[in-house]
Amino acid sequence: MTVLPDSPNFPYRRYDRLPPISQFSIESDSDLSETAELIEEYEVFDPSRPRPKVILVIGGPGSGKGTQCLKIAERYGFQYVSVGELLRKKMIHNATSNRKWSLIAKIITNGELAPQETTITEIKQKIMKIPEASGIVIDGFPRDVGQALSFEDQICTPDLVVFLACTNHRLKERLQKRAEQHGRPDDNPKAIDRRLTNFKQNTIPLVKYFQERGLIVTLDADRDEEEVFCDISMTLDNKLFPSKEPAAGPSELDLSVLGETSGPASGKSLQCERMEERFGLRRVALGDLLCSELQSHSDRGRHLRDVLERGEQLPEDSLLELLCEAVASSVRQGKGVVVSGFPRDLRGAEEYEAKVGEPSAVLLMSCSADIMSSRLQCHRDDVLHRRVESFCSDSQAVASHYEGKRLLHMIDAERTPEEVFAQICQVMETF
């Protein structure tokens, strides 16, 4: 008897449509990948040690991830892990003799993402080789949400993710320049376009994922690398190393008194505010102290108000007394001080040192008379001229005085505020 295909006794399975063909991947081939059991058994961090800080730095190809990661590692004593370098080294040593790495080499050279399982395994093995690390900064990972989930599942939740945002035009420009200088296999024109496309597709959901978890900070990477790193340092200090009262007394920086002297419109107020926020120093400005004193009901406040009402010049001794009291109060509390706009002349410097002592450093915000004048265009010309002329005359003596004591640090205040603060950060790192 003939059994028709529609009959339930038909010996072959009937399909309304052909079954899907399984897509090949390196991970799906048992000959090309490690087993899940082998990966799961890795103990990434030594349980007998505190878990190191883990920072992920992400961004488009050419956004400066490697440069900034190296700076972070150097500044904080962290271990640097470049995922790209890990994979490239494995490719170089294994591509000709190993089928798996031969395929991975082709994938990366074409600008595609390396297999997720392989990448995670390489990161885990690298971390296991640095058990004494106090911190680890990982360059170029994750590239998509899937990799982020896998990282958290198999390694840990990062302490911070730094996203270096950069325009597509700038990324392409930097990659082309790098290709000319270093000749990386994945910096060929076709791969560059593919990598930028992949990054654009994956970055929005990836950044959103970390934003929802409160783990990411986004920084403008179109700027000079020192400006970018200054912002990174501020972020890491605030988020990973929040200032705390020292348990065994103040540190050397906590007890430092920094003089910050500069001409009108040199940007000293902005920079002092940044120093206050970045380094936990207390900003002391003579003008602010005077305003508070004039509004008080103290005997000194009433005396100073009377002097002003008579149109007389305020006594230098009273002003210096206000300043010394504020500085001494902060130092007693274990807080460092940045004194804004002082000393203005040599006499003030000498009297301050006689009562309080030498400052730890003096920052001179160097700015030409023409630049200061252009920034003060809203002021009357005669007043403007006198203020600039007075500062230029008095600052030379102050600069010579502190230069002789090796306490003077010249800051180029004609540059952008970010560049100026980057210079200040370099000085502060010497403490």
The answer on 281 and 193 residing in a single domain is no
**Residue 53 confidence (pLDDT):** 95
d(CA 360, CA 250): 15
Residue 121 within a domain: yes
Residue 40 banded pLDDT, cuts 50, 70, 90: very low
State yes or no: cis peptide before 343, omega within 30 of 0: yes
Residue 303 within a domain: no
**Residue 17 confidence (pLDDT):** 46
**Structure tokens that stand for 166 in this block:** 């950069």
The answer on 398 and 347 residing in a single domain is yes
d(CA 71, CA 65): 10
The domain of 230 spans 36-240
> What integer best gives the mean pLDDT of the chain?
75
Residue 180 within a domain: yes
Residue 58 banded pLDDT, cuts 50, 70, 90: very high
The answer on 153 and 263 residing in a single domain is no
Q: What 3-state class would DSSP assign to 55?
A: strand
For residue 181, give the amino acid letter. Answer: Q
The answer on 52 and 97 residing in a single domain is yes
Backbone angles phi, psi at 285, to 5 degrees: -120, 130
d(CA 39, CA 345): 68
The answer on 52 and 176 residing in a single domain is yes
pLDDT at 385 over 80: no
β partners of residue 338: 258, 283
Residue 152 banded pLDDT, cuts 50, 70, 90: very high
The answer on 278 and 208 residing in a single domain is no
For residue 310, give the amino acid letter. Answer: R
pLDDT at 379 over 50: no
361-366 and 135-139 beta bridge pairing: unpaired
**Residue 353 confidence (pLDDT):** 79
Q: For 186-236, what is each residue's pLDDT tens digit? A: 556 666 777 777 777 788 889 889 988 889 988 888 888 888 888 888 888
Pick from 48-57, 132-141, 176-185, 330-339: least confident: 176-185
Torsion, CA 58, CA 60, CA 62, CA 64, rounded to 10: -30
The answer on 269 and 188 residing in a single domain is no
**Residue 158 confidence (pLDDT):** 96
Q: Please identify which residue in the block is written with the tokens 């799906």.
A: 28
For 16, the enclosing helix (H) or strand (E) is none
- Most confident residue range from 104-113, 247-256, 326-335: 326-335
Residue 240 near residue 78 (C-beta atoms within 8 A):
no
The answer on 98 and 210 residing in a single domain is yes
d(CA 394, CA 398): 7
Pick from 300-304, 361-365, 377-381: least confident: 377-381
pLDDT at 43 over 80: no
The answer on 273 and 208 residing in a single domain is no
- 277: Cβ contacts below 8 Å, ≥ 6 apart: 234
The answer on 172 and 280 residing in a single domain is no
Sheet holding 160-165, edge to edge: 79-82, 135-139, 53-59, 160-165, 216-220
DSSP count for the chain of H helices, then E strands: 17, 10
Instruction: Give how many domains the chain has, as a whole number.
Output: 2
pLDDT at 393 over 50: yes
Residue 155 banded pLDDT, cuts 50, 70, 90: very high
Residue 52 banded pLDDT, cuts 50, 70, 90: very high
d(CA 210, CA 135): 20
Which of the pair, 134 or 243, is modelled with greater confidence? Answer: 134
Please say which residue of 206, 240, 274 terminates a domain: 240
Residue 281 near residue 336 (C-beta atoms within 8 A):
yes
Backbone angles phi, psi at 143, to 5 degrees: -100, -20
**Residue 118 confidence (pLDDT):** 79
Residue 248 within a domain: no
Residue 210 within a domain: yes
pLDDT at 372 over 70: no
Residue 373 within a domain: yes
**Residue 9 confidence (pLDDT):** 58
Pick from 64-78, 82-96, 254-268, 318-332: least confident: 254-268
DSSP 121-158: HHHHHHHHT-TT-SEEEEES---SHHHHHHHHHHT---
Residue 7 within a domain: no
pLDDT at 354 over 90: no
Residue 361 within a domain: yes
Which of the pair, 13 or 93, is modelled with greater confidence? Answer: 93
The answer on 227 and 281 residing in a single domain is no
d(CA 283, CA 344): 17
pLDDT at 61 over 70: yes
Kindly report the CATH number assigned to the domain that includes residue 417.
3.40.50.300
pLDDT at 264 over 50: no
**Residue 181 confidence (pLDDT):** 65
Residue 37 banded pLDDT, cuts 50, 70, 90: very low
Residue 99 near residue 110 (C-beta atoms within 8 A):
no
Which of the pair, 214 or 344, is modelled with greater confidence? Answer: 214
Q: What 3-state class would DSSP assign to 218?
A: strand
d(CA 71, CA 78): 10
The answer on 261 and 234 residing in a single domain is no
β partners of residue 408: 362
For 385, the enclosing helix (H) or strand (E) is helix 381-404
Q: For 269-327, what is each residue's pLDDT tens digit? A: 778 888 888 888 888 887 788 888 888 878 888 888 888 888 777 777 788 888 888 88
Please say which residue of 240, 275, 296 terminates a domain: 240
Please say which residue of 207, 240, 273 terminates a domain: 240
